[in-house]
Structure 1
Amino acid sequence: MAFPRPRPARPELPRQRVQTLQCGQGAVRAARFNGETAHHGDTGDTGRERGETGDGGREQELGMEATVRCWDCRSRRPDPIQVLDEAKDGISSVKLSGHEILTGSVDGRVRRYDLRAGQLCSDYIGSPITSVCFSKDGQCVLAASLDSTLRLLDKDTGELLGEYTGHRSTTYRLDCVLNEQDTHVGCASEDGHVYFWDLLEGSLALSLPVGQGVVQSLAFHPRLPCLLVATQGQVTLWREDTFQPEGDPDT
């Protein structure tokens, strides 16, 4: 007689603050994981973000102008080898995945550049985009905008798969994320919280109070239920309730 397999445990969301870093350098504008570690930056008034494609051969830069510029890192030449200038307003977010570049713009459009095929796909959201990201499985795109709404889109067709509301995003550039298992979508908020929704059901799963001011930046670890949050002049690290830090006497 065959017994049914037990249902897999629901993925845990980060609810426990395990570390706080007081930066002492004004407002922290960006906090990111770099492999297994985390780093942060104070961008001042510039608003610039960089990254590398999967082959390590190119670097992208975005600024307040409406372009994304690509350099060949191996040649060290100062001039960009490619300029993506289709946006009609400032580029607010850029993400890289293998041979694809995903951008969000204040003009209300999400653009995906397929560098291998030489193709551009553009989806119109309407409200200024503040952040974009790929799902871990590479099938979907998540976009946050200034109408206090997250939208999940099919990457290839642009079909709207889900909408998520409840946070506040009307003024600032705020990050959106997916958790390490693609089961929940999350977003920073201007009310000092981080919100997570069930990706399929659309229901609010967690409202995490992280500070008194605007949550400036957000990053989710690629393999662990681990969240990095920047708010005002500090960066905090959050883990699931069952996590026990090293050196805990109960471990």
Structure 2
Amino acid sequence: MTPRIRHKLEHHKGSVNSAIFDASGAYVFTGGQDKSIRLVNSATGEEIQTLLGHGWGIQGLAISRDSSTLASCGGTDRAVYLWDVGQAQLTRKLTDHAQRVDCVAVSDNGSIVVSGSFGKTVRVWDTRASNSPQAMLQVLKESKDGISSLVLTPAEIIASSIDGCARTYDMRTGRVVVDSFGSGQPVVCVRVVSDGKCLLVSSMDGSIQLVDRADGKSVAAFSGHVCKDYRIQCDASNSMVASGSEDGFVYVWDILRDSESGSAQYRLGGHSGIVNTVEFHPSAKSGLAKGHAMMLSAASDGSVIVWE
């Protein structure tokens, strides 16, 4: 069945750069160029809370699995902001980056935060430490260009870079695996597919690849969306791949059906600007999406769409 719009949210003034579900999927957090973070009920579309404190537009959001800790990065703020979700309060700022911070990720219990910068570095933070200098555990400097997206698993940090690579850091052994993807084009987004065996990699030549983590080879490729000038984010459920696009549409592919042709199954309209990011509902990632919202998309026109 073709995805349809459940809610179109227009709470922000200006581009919405990040939109995520909490772990339950009951709530949506959106971050915009208007420097605000909005908390919305995904079932009703009702805005619950606005979080203010950033001095620049929000570039990235991440939330702990227990939904207690929200991390945000505001680009030119050059810092990571940590929020107590229950109290709707800013609890601390992690400040050490020399250039803008574009992406952030949080561990399941909120104790570890990683942040990626235009300054080519990934910083690893211990949020239990009492002050910012003590909180910084490590600086990862292997990238030759800005960090575009991050994934944090219990054992790994995966960082994509504008230098055309994705780097996987094994936190137990210190080993670094570097994957490059042939074209040499900037990698704008990386995600771990739900079974953990593949990476979903989006590049600035308009390609999305499903890459086998065992040998680094592409096992499927998806095309049709436009990604030439912007850091367009993609995501995967247990059976689908979706991406934003510079032409204002959301593109959705069936992983199995479309893996040979690469053509999108759905081209979804509803936004009137660049679609910056998409994210599947947690239940869609587990394969239990019936009766739930399916996906979020957020765009430069200030809108966020909850799809079902």
Same fold (TM over 0.5): yes
Match of 2:155 in 1: 99
Residue 42, structure 1, aligned to residue 98, structure 2: no
SS in 2 for 1:81: strand
Deviation at 1:162, TM superposition (A): 1.0
SS in 2 for 1:228: strand
Conserved? CA contact 1:95–1:102, under 8 Å: yes
Distance 2:167 2:240 in 1: 23
Which has the bigger relative contact order, CA under 8 A and spacing at least 6? 1
SS in 2 for 1:171: coil
Conserved? CA contact 1:53–1:99, under 8 Å: no
1:131 to 154, 166, 189: 189
Distance 1:165 1:101 in 2: 27
1:141 to 182, 195, 199: 199
Conserved? CA contact 1:71–1:77, under 8 Å: no
Match of 1:238 in 2: 307
Deviation at 1:55, TM superposition (A): 5.0
Structure 1: 4+ residue segments shifted above 6 A: none
Match of 1:218 in 2: 278
Match of 2:177 in 1: 121
Match of 1:28 in 2: 16
* Mean Cα deviation higher: 109-118 or 81-90: 109-118
Distance 1:123 1:214 in 2: 28
Conserved? CA contact 2:16–2:32, under 8 Å: yes
Match of 1:84 in 2: 140
Matches within 5 A, 1:54-69: 54-69=108-123
5+ unaligned residues in a row in structure 1: which ranges? Answer: 1-11, 240-251
Residues 100/54 of structure 1: CA separation in 2 closer, same or farther (3 Å cut): farther
Distance 1:200 1:100 in 2: 27
5+ unaligned residues in a row in structure 2: which ranges? Answer: 34-56, 58-73, 76-100
Q: Determine which structure has more spread, i.e. the larger CA radius of gyration.
A: 1
CA RMSD of aligned residues (A): 1.7
Conserved? CA contact 2:19–2:298, under 8 Å: yes
What TM-score comes out, normalization by structure 1 length? 0.84
Distance 1:175 1:24 in 2: 19
Distance 2:155 2:109 in 1: 8
Distance 1:25 1:94 in 2: 26
Distance 1:55 1:158 in 2: 30
Deviation at 1:51, TM superposition (A): 2.2
SS in 2 for 1:229: strand
Match of 1:8 in 2: none
Amino acid aligned to 2:298: A
C-alpha offsets along residues 209-235 of structure 1, whole Å, 9 cap, x if unaligned? 131211012111121341111112111
Matches within 5 A, 1:146-185: 146-179=204-237, 182-185=238-241
Amino acid aligned to 1:236: I
Once the two structures are aligned, what percentage of the paired residues are identical? 33
